[in-house]
Chains A and B, each alone.
Chain A
Amino acid sequence: DQQVKQNSPSLSVQEGRISILNCDYTNSMFDYFLWYKKYPAEGPTFLISISSIKDKNEDGRFTVFLNKSAKHLSLHIVPSQPGDSAVYFCAASDVLTGGGNKLTFGTGTQLKVEL
């Protein structure tokens, strides 16, 4: 049972445009959401997170939106740069039930930013 889903395995965007990566979840106990970026042969790197009490969090070029009623979150990257090309993972945690460091990951979206 895939509790966190990233339905687009790949996304191609032109440099300077917006990249939008989507993620859906089914477990209503999840209350903290994160995005990680992963390059080949490296571990995932934390990008940005959002608590379920918020609907938006911004950090530089990265913005995460959370729609709790739809159980959907998205990551916006503006403007996209070639160095953003990587696999992006959405992850979720149920912090309030003590599972803070237990992350449930989506299957990832390969982002390619073209010149």
Chain B
Amino acid sequence: KAGVTQTPRYLIKTRGQQVTLSCSPISGHRSVSWYQQTPGQGLQFLFEYFSETQRNKGNFPGRFSGRQFSNSRSEMNVSTLELGDSALYLCASSYDRVSSAYNEQFFGPGTRLTVL
């Protein structure tokens, strides 16, 4: 079974631009979560999508948005990029078993975004 894939793996943008990152979850997984990893703040939760609806949201400004498609693939968008948005963006997927309150999340390799 293929793992979580993220594209692109590396991206360089300039301040003020916008960027779209893509995540393909493991086949059959319906939940996709996004995290930002920076040296100063560590791994921080951005949002989670389940069945094309945002189910949980972290404390990030509205410049960060996401969506999920009917095939569970997800995209996140960052508009008006700032230098501080430089980070590793990680996507995680889970099956979301009804019988379990917690479902193990599988992470992709991440997209390294550099904002100049």
Q: Which residues of A contact B (CB under 8 A)?
A: 32, 36, 41-46, 49, 51, 89, 91, 93, 95-96, 98-108
Contacts and interface: CB of A to CB of B under 8 A. Distances in A.
B103 A101 contact: yes
A93 B92 contact: no
B106 A100 contact: no
B66 interface: no
B72 interface: no
Contacts of B107: 36, 43-45
Contacts of B109: 41-43
Contacts of A93: 102
Rank and list the top 4 A-B pairs by shortest CB-CB distance, nearest first: A43-B107, A105-B43, A107-B42, A95-B101
Contacts of A42: 109
Query: B interface, how many residues as a size bin?
Result: 20 to 34
A37 to B, nearest CB: 11
B42 A49 contact: no
A109 B75 CA distance: 30
Interface string B49-93: 010000110100000000000000000000000000000001010
26 contacts: A32-B102, A41-B109, A42-B109, A43-B92, A43-B107, A43-B108, A44-B43, A44-B90, A45-B107, A46-B106, A49-B102, A89-B42, A89-B43, A98-B56, A99-B56, A100-B103, A101-B56, A101-B102, A102-B33, A102-B56, A102-B58, A103-B33, A103-B45, A103-B105, A104-B45, A108-B42
Given A44-B90, A102-B48, A105-B42, A95 B105 contact: no
Interface string B25-50: 00000010101000000111100101
Contacts of B101: 32, 95-96, 100
